[in-house]
Amino acid sequence: MKKTNFLCSLLFALVAPAASAASASPEAQDQLTREISALDSAVFDAFNHCSDPARLQEHAGYFATDVEFYHDTGGVTWTRDAMIANTGKYVCGHFTRELVPGSMKVYPIKDFGAVSQGAHRFCQIDGGKCEGLADFTIVWRKQDGEWRITRVLSYGHRAAADAQ
């Protein structure tokens, strides 16, 4: 009997999230996708202009203080301060990020926020060549009406097949 109860509980745990996601109205999903897409654009507009210290601080404001940033070639940072220090040192004035058109997908997280996934291209500021490509997953938390990024995974860094 215990095994049956465990299996039923496990099945419910696996099926309930899918049923919940499937029950979200198309309008609610579209609204969430528009909202997260706009935030993604804003975060990376600030990122792309982070040579200006005010824009770097604007970029920082989108992240939780305890953000975890996982980068397959750069390692892990555990705080916003560490992540922003790395951005200032390795990104600002060196390259920009572009979302690969049509690649972003957004999924709701019940009573928390959302996850966005997609691909992004990195372009050198000197010369303008877009030779880097990577995948990303971002966890967004909505708390008190404000969205903050709590986790970032940037992985699968590779040469872009369509390098300019």
Q: How far apart are CA 18 and CA 68, in angstroms?
A: 26
Tokens of 107: 């999924």
pLDDT tens per residue across all 164 residues of the chain: 555 454 344 334 444 444 444 557 999 999 999 999 999 999 999 999 999 999 999 999 999 999 999 999 999 999 999 999 999 999 999 999 999 999 999 999 999 999 999 999 999 999 889 999 999 999 999 999 999 999 999 999 999 875 44
CATH number at 118 reads: 3.10.450.50
The answer to whether residues 116 and 105 touch, using CB atoms and an 8 Å cutoff, is yes
Q: Is residue 19 part of a domain?
A: no
Q: What tokens appear for 136 in the block? A: 């990303």
Q: Is residue 48 in a domain?
A: yes
| Residue range of the domain that includes 77 | 25-159
* Residues paired with 139 in a beta bridge: 115, 151
pTM metric for this prediction: 0.83
d(CA 146, CA 7): 38
- Total structural domains within the chain: 1
